[in-house]
Amino acid sequence: MTTAYDFSARDIDGNEQSLSKYKGEALLIVNVASKCGFTPQYTGLEALQKEYHAKGFEVLGFPCDQFGHQEPGDEAEIRNFCSLTYDVSFPMFAKIEVNGSGAHPLYEWLKKEKSGLLGIGAIKWNFTKFLVDREGNVIKRYAPTDKPEAIGKDVAKLLG
């Protein structure tokens, strides 16, 4: 059975990272963008990271420019924006595609595991979130409008 830990992706510095390094941890996987109406959610995502990291939780940010050209920068610009504007400490990855023929394999798998509203698999916008348990299984998919603060109770329950 495939789990989130079976995938790898380039990190924001261009190094290939196996997600197996997070084995045993719960994850919140999010496609992010710097110039989106939902960008302020970085504050809530960072708060979740700080509150639950020591209990075995990681937020993983995957920049994506497929929605309204809202992530136009390169990885260095994205890293600087996240650091300077939101003091992001959670792992950030290189820009990816989440839909279409160029979609990253992780996102192809996430969409198959938990489809969106009305069974539609495609990611509709930036800041779609997937909660993954400590075994690497997708537990829940959240819409871009679901604020990180509202997800905290699910994270706490998952971590026990």
In the structure encoding, which two tokens stand for residue 20, read together? 């197996």
The closest of 143, 125, 109 to 9, measured between CA atoms, is: 109
- Concerning whether 64 is annotated as a catalytic residue, the answer is no
Cα Rg for the chain, rounded, in angstroms? 14
With DSSP H G I counted as helix, E B as strand and the rest as coil, what are the percentages for the chain, rounded to 5? 35, 20, 40
Please name the residue ranges forming H helices in the chain.
41-52, 75-86, 105-113, 148-159
Q: Which of 36, 88, 92, 103 is catalytic?
A: 36
**Residues with catalytic function:** 36
